[in-house]
Structure 1
């Protein structure tokens, strides 16, 4: 990935609906060059897809929680990971270091829905002896934009 690719990625993260001409003007490339670079970045997996940023409250899932989950033994992980992949309320799942096995980012309609997910889906899995949840009261920053470094003057 060169500096033009980084500039394109930086620009489209903030301006996802921009056309090729607008992207080209912002980064100093022609429309055809932008088109080719975007195709290349998608083929390489640097751009994993395109989506809209939706307000969670407007979509009916205003409750945000982070859930730490302990898995007792490795043989219990496949069932847990299958649940994670199939459960739309689980937005992210990270295998982490420390006292817990996984960290989940969860969005729910309300506390009852969160409790249902935890008590009836996650904690009933074999090998999940405990979890710890942190419910978010408010967010000072919530950004999907990655800090793509572009060297000064590039």
Structure 2
């Protein structure tokens, strides 16, 4: 990966809908050359996909929590991970080392909905303990800065 690939990645992180022509103008290459480079980056796995970023508050899910989860001893982790897909309020999950097994990112309309989610996780998914924190705001860090490291 050279400097131009890094520039293309930074531009795509900022606007994944940019055309090859727009990208080409920014890095001073033809649209065809840019298309070839982007295809190569996708094929190599550097680019995994393109996504829309949702404003969950606008969709009515303005309360966002980070919840550390400890599972019951008999809970199968693979089954737990599969069952998370059935909980629409869980929008992210990471397996952890240390005191807790997972960290979940949970979005809800209000505290009552969050309570319902917690009860369901404990009752149906084998969660023994939850420690949650309300997310006040996310610090806007530029993801493309990793390309400079």
Shorter-chain TM band? 0.7 to 0.9
Q: C-alpha offsets along residues 102-144 of structure 1, whole Å, 9 cap, x if unaligned? A: 0111112222222111112x111364211111112x2152457
Unaligned stretches of 5+ residues in structure 1: none
Normalising by structure 2, report the TM-score.
0.86
Match of 1:149 in 2: 147
Match of 1:39 in 2: 39
SS in 2 for 1:98: coil
Unaligned stretches of 5+ residues in structure 2: none
SS in 2 for 1:129: strand
- Aligned pairs for 1:105-124 (under 5 A) are 105-120=105-120, 122-124=121-123
SS in 1 for 2:59: coil
SS in 1 for 2:57: coil
SS in 2 for 1:86: coil
Q: How many residues align?
A: 149
Match of 2:131 in 1: 132
Contact 1:20–1:31 at 8 Å: present in 2 too? yes
Shift of residue 2, structure 1, vs aligned partner: 2.7
CA RMSD of aligned residues (A): 2.2
- Structure 1 residues 140 and 76, CA gap change in structure 2 (3 angstroms): closer
